[in-house]
Structure 1
């Protein structure tokens, strides 16, 4: 259809987590790459924004392999920058990077663009929701929430060490309070995305580190023209 496609890919610290086939950051990067190649093969103009706590890098949509490779270069550099050491250098609690990337998207995106936002949406707050609503007003917006099975259900038995930068604390999966807190946190993200999807006629899907990226995206692209969530 020769329309612009913008792919926003989150490579923030919270994406550096995974218990199955890959990290969420890798899941997001692979998804962005597959979507970008697919769009270019359909003669669409493709661009995107790669963002983390420290920077956001933008490639405006173009029907150009060179522009696409520049986007992939930004994606590769941001992904490689995610290490256990980098997480202790600060910036983990910067909640504004997600909103700033969305503001950038609203500024560079022309009406009628197909916009993908690939993230775990851990930094979704009121300001970010407003920017997503603004994107959905004049564009087709598709949200892909990256998650890991451990973010939905904790394993049974043992004590889990959790590190957040330099701080380490421990969770007991067998305590009901722990399960309730995890469920409430996960449900809150799901509820916000569902409300946004319903109010703005936006599609969103969950993609998991525990499943094949190819098969998940194949199912999604087959339903992209539909309404509602899988």
Structure 2
């Protein structure tokens, strides 16, 4: 299996080139995920935060909502609290590059699609003036970096994605750490979650195997304090196993012929389709923005549709 095939493995040059495409995207403070499965509540990215600067006597033209009633009552004169706006937001992009992502039936593997999605978001966030960081969870380990207002930090994040992506193969299953392969994505970044504040943004990029249904409630609670977005990567063959009937899957000398009979379809539906249906149902009653991204359409087209509500 050649690592030169961009449909199977990504490279740094490809992720760097996505910066130009990212300039057509928007994650503004007034952002509403018009095309995402955002449920019945209006979801939005919370605005940048305010830093307290000083307490001073009220002046004509001041916002009366900023009057500090306790201080004013104690001093007998109206006093206001003065704030200055923060100039950027810390954005954490969490990217799944574990073995379940190493699958694709048409154009790209899910792992390559996730890498492209992460790169587009990272560049858009950085060019928008915010700090970029995050974590890359691979089949061998997890690499984490704090958000910084630095292009070098973006490049380091992309390099970590490429490294984890290029380590994906069946041999990695033997060398993979139990903690990275069997645990959900969310469970591995809980120490990071503990550091989030009201201005933080956390973007999770994984597939249906990377998030437990019961964790959606936890993410929804978290989204009340911080900005949380979940992207789920899907391959069309995962939606309909019958389309794989008669196909041969090979890796080197290993080859398996897929027989998609009714019995196998039923078992598969229990494992995947019901899980996907539960995920979609949960998002319909949640304020959590969830976007489904497939492996065959250009990622920039899908992301524009999800973030900006462009028509299909």
Range of TM-score over shorter length:
0.7 to 0.9
Aligned equivalent of 2:263: 177
Aligned to 1:147: 234
Q: Where does the alignment leave 5 or more consecutive residues of structure 1 unmatched? A: 225-229
- Residue 67 (str. 1) matches residue 153 (str. 2): yes
Q: Secondary structure at the match of 1:138?
A: coil
Equivalences for residues 42-81 of structure 1 within 5 A: 42-81=128-167
Q: Which moved more, 1:35-44 or 1:82-91?
A: 82-91
Decide which moves more: 108-117 or 57-66: 108-117
Cα 1:6–1:130, aligned 2, differ >3 Å: closer, same or farther?
same
Aligned to 1:38: 124
Rounded Cα–Cα distance in structure 2 between residues aligned with 1:194 and 1:157? 26
Q: If each structure's helix is expressed as a fraction of its own residues, which one has the higher value?
A: 1
Name 2:89's counterpart in structure 1. 3
Of residues 186-195 and 23-32 in structure 1, the stretch that sits farther from structure 2 once superposed is 186-195
Match of 1:214 in 2: 300
Structure having greater relative contact order (Cα 8 Å, sep ≥ 6): 2
Question: TM-score, structure 1 length as denominator?
Answer: 0.82
Q: State the alpha-carbon separation in 2 of the partners of residues 81 and 15 from structure 1.
A: 12
Corresponding residue SS for 1:37: helix
Alpha carbons of structure 1 residues 172 and 16: separation in structure 2 relative to 1, 3 Å? same
| CA deviation after TM superposition for structure 1 residue 103, in Å | 0.8
- SS where residue 224 of structure 2 aligns? helix
What TM-score does the superposition give when structure 2 sets the normalisation length? 0.62
CA distance in 2 between partners of 1:126 and 1:31 (Å)? 23
1:186 aligns with 2:269: no
Match of 1:26 in 2: 112
Structure 2 counterpart of 1:120: 207
* Offset at residue 41 of structure 1 (A): 1.0
Q: 1:195: Cα distance to partner? A: 4.6
Could you give the per-residue CA deviations for residues 78-128 of structure 1, whole angstroms, max 9, x where no partner exists? Answer: 111112322343547932252433313312322232221110130433674
Q: Cα–Cα, structure 1 residues 153 and 194, in superposed 2: closer, same or farther, change >3 Å?
A: closer
Unaligned runs of 5+ in 2: 1-28, 30-87
* Secondary structure at the counterpart of residue 181 of structure 2: coil
The RMSD of aligned alpha carbons is: 2.9
Aligned pairs, number:
221
**Larger Rg belongs to:** 2
Find the residue that maps to 2:140 and give its secondary structure. Answer: coil
Residue equivalent to 1:96: 183
